[in-house]
Amino acid sequence: MPDLFIDGTWRSALDERTREIRCPADGSLVGVVDEAGGKDTVEAIAAARRAFDEGPWPTTPAADRGDLLLRVADLLLRDKDALARAESLDTGKRLVESEYDIDDIANCFRYFGRAAAAETGRVVETGTASVDSRVVYEPVGVCALITPWNYPLLQTAWKVAPALAAGNTFVLKPSELTPHTAIHLMRLLEEAGLPPGVANLVLGAGPEAGAPLGDHPDVDLVSFTGGLQTGRRLMAAAAGTVKKVALELGGKNPNIVFADADFETAVDLALTAVFLHSGQVCSSGARLLVEDSLHDRFVDELVRRASRIRLGGPFDERAQSGPLVSAAHRAKVEAYVAKGLAEGAVLRCGGARPSGPEFEAGFYYPPTVLDECSSDMSVVQDESFGPVLTVERFSGEAEAVRLANDTIYGLAGAVFTTDEAKAQRVAARLRLGTVWINDYHPYVPQAEWGGFKQSGFGRELGPSGLAEYREAKHIWRNTNPSPQGWFA
């Protein structure tokens, strides 16, 4: 069965190219999918344009759009096992993590389904009895939705659900490495009764399949999650036709541990912060800032536990962490660690590929801790997007804030302390889109997600997540018109 979904039809790429998808855990063949080129994407944009300009979806009552999203949430849960398995095979991620993701994804559809139904617009007081005035919300138009490989279906849901809730049509381009759950989602949207042309899927590499989404005049909005360099390129491409742009980019996220933190909790969550999904998380707490007086004890314990983390494939129930997504990504992480060591960081654990037959065919890299780092090192400033923790010392609140903010990024981070007032003071000074206090990583679809500074702009999730995909239109009605005579 072909894998590109354009104008309600499944078809192959125009030039019949395909791509093999292999599991990062063992290199086994997961599937062969169609690989779109630019011409396929231009056709998908045309279909989305027609469906927006002529189709029923943008003017479907918001409550009905909401109902469709609620149906999709049910279908996602019905197919949870198959979806989680497909996600794990594409990414190498542990099955249990993929299962959590599918629950989150269904929640996201449910949240935006309900938000769509609650969509009302508002009446505006004009002060004139014969005039009424209201603000209504309308969809932006054709949306280009471009997503990465680390949370393939979750990042897709964060865009598809609000885009549909607001009445847009879209072209989705998931990462070329992890296409299978996006294909499955399109089938569920079809099954739920979405009209043809509203949802379109192109699979393929960014520079070919993705590029037209950045500059095509028929695209009204680009919502992108991925790396900083690609985000900059898309923003520049979108400027030519003044598209609305939302960017969710990288992060080098500070995890601040004060000496008065609850030791057990802070160590445990410092490990989760950076080693969850092998560090391939945009909000990963890959930059530990630990108060000088606690440093030795804290880092010793962290290293002891990090060294024991068991690596394994997605279906190995004893595994605590999986492989990196590709050979190229592992090479990038290795180069990053080598650079850190050359800059003077002290290797405390990890730093070399694991040995053993079970790791040979996969892209494994162990939890790695680089101690005695300083914020002028590129290893501290750059995103490795792997299981690599840099450790810096600080002394006192002011230095913690200064170091944490000394980065071009501003996505997320955490503060661990038992002093509630200090936690609040520090949280208020951090230039981050999300600050966790005595916690790391949780999120809810009701609250906004997004970055300050070069971590991007625009918000996903929460009320502002829906607002990204809407235009506000003011309608002014004169119920008692009469000539004004200014130019009589």
Question: Of 66 and 386, which has the nearer Cβ to ligand NAD?
Answer: 386
Catalytic residue among 282, 397, 460, 468: 282
Question: Of 55 and 226, which has the nearer Cβ to ligand NAD?
Answer: 226
Question: Of 75 and 282, which has the nearer Cβ to ligand NAD?
Answer: 282
> Binding residue for ligand NAD (CB under 6 A) from 226, 340, 386, 465?
226
Q: Which residue has the tokens 């592992």?
A: 330
Cα torsion for 456, 461, 462, 464, to the nearest 10°? 40
Q: Are 461 and 158 in contact (CB under 8 A)?
A: yes
Q: What is the DSSP string of 63-99?
A: HHHHHHHHHHHHHHHHTHHHHHHHHHHHH---HHHHH
Q: CB-based burial of residue 378 (10 Å sphere; 0-12 exposed, 13-18 middle, 19+ buried)?
A: exposed
Catalytic residue among 87, 119, 248, 448: 248
How far, CA to CA in Å, does 113 sit from each of 12, 64, 110, 156, 261?
32, 9, 5, 15, 40
How many alpha carbons fall within 13 Å on the CB side of residue 202? 34
Residues 378-407, one symbol each (x = binds ligand NAD by CB under 6 A, - = not), give -----x-x----------------------
Q: How far is the CB of 390 from ligand NAD (least distance, A)?
A: 16
Question: Of 232 and 425, which has the nearer Cβ to ligand NAD?
Answer: 232
Q: How far is the CB of 427 from ligand NAD (least distance, A)?
A: 19
Active-site annotation holds for 282: yes
Interatomic CA distance for residues 119 and 198, integer angstroms: 20
**Contacts (Cβ under 8 Å, ≥6 apart) of 75:** 188, 191, 192
Of residues 93 through 122, those in contact with ligand NAD by CB under 6 A are none
Q: CB-based burial of residue 170 (10 Å sphere; 0-12 exposed, 13-18 middle, 19+ buried)?
A: buried
Interatomic CA distance for residues 431 and 89, integer angstroms: 36
Question: Of 258 and 385, which has the nearer Cβ to ligand NAD?
Answer: 385
> Binding residue for ligand NAD (CB under 6 A) from 282, 290, 379, 380?
282
> Binding residue for ligand NAD (CB under 6 A) from 91, 168, 200, 230?
230
Measured from each CB, the residue nearest to ligand NAD is: 206
The window from 26-34, 133-141, 163-171, 225-233 that contacts ligand NAD (CB under 6 A) reads: 225-233
Question: Of 177 and 266, which has the nearer Cβ to ligand NAD?
Answer: 177
CA angle, corner 306, sides to 323 and 254, nearest 5?
90
Residues 292-331, one symbol each (x = binds ligand NAD by CB under 6 A, - = not), give ----------------------------------------
Question: Of 162 and 206, which has the nearer Cβ to ligand NAD?
Answer: 206
Q: How far is the CB of 303 from ligand NAD (least distance, A)?
A: 25
Residue 225 binding ligand NAD, by CB under 6 A: yes
Do the strands 244-248 and 221-225 form a parallel or antiparallel pair, or are they unpaired?
A: parallel
In 209-286, at which residue ranges do the beta strands (DSSP E only) sit? 221-225, 244-248, 254-257
Residue 210 binding ligand NAD, by CB under 6 A: yes
Nearest to 311 by CA among 342, 349, 277: 277
Q: How far is the CB of 351 from ligand NAD (least distance, A)?
A: 22
Quick one: tokens of 415?
């503060």
Interatomic CA distance for residues 332 and 329, integer angstroms: 5
> Binding residue for ligand NAD (CB under 6 A) from 83, 213, 288, 373?
213
Sign of the C-alpha dihedral computed for residues 301, 307, 313 and 318 taken in this order: negative
Number of residues that bind ligand NAD (CB under 6 A): 33
Residues 144-183, one symbol each (x = binds ligand NAD by CB under 6 A, - = not), give --xxxxx----x-----------------xxxx-------
Of residues 442 through 461, those in contact with ligand NAD by CB under 6 A are 451, 456
> Binding residue for ligand NAD (CB under 6 A) from 40, 101, 220, 248?
248
Count of residues in the chain: 488
Quick one: tokens of 135?
């603000």
Active-site annotation holds for 248: yes
Question: Of 88 and 454, which has the nearer Cβ to ligand NAD?
Answer: 454
Q: Are 433 and 454 in contact (CB under 8 A)?
A: no
Of residues 79 through 98, those in contact with ligand NAD by CB under 6 A are none
Residue 468 binding ligand NAD, by CB under 6 A: no
The window from 70-78, 183-191, 203-211, 270-278 that contacts ligand NAD (CB under 6 A) reads: 203-211
- Backbone φ and ψ for 402, nearest 5 degrees, come out as -60, -45
The window from 205-213, 314-322, 417-425, 480-488 that contacts ligand NAD (CB under 6 A) reads: 205-213
Q: How far is the CB of 288 from ligand NAD (least distance, A)?
A: 18
Q: Are 21 and 179 in contact (CB under 8 A)?
A: yes
Q: Which residues are catalytic?
A: 248, 282
Contact residues for ligand NAD (CB under 6 A)? 146-150, 155, 173-176, 205-207, 210-211, 213-214, 225-227, 230, 233-234, 248-251, 282, 383, 385, 411, 451, 456
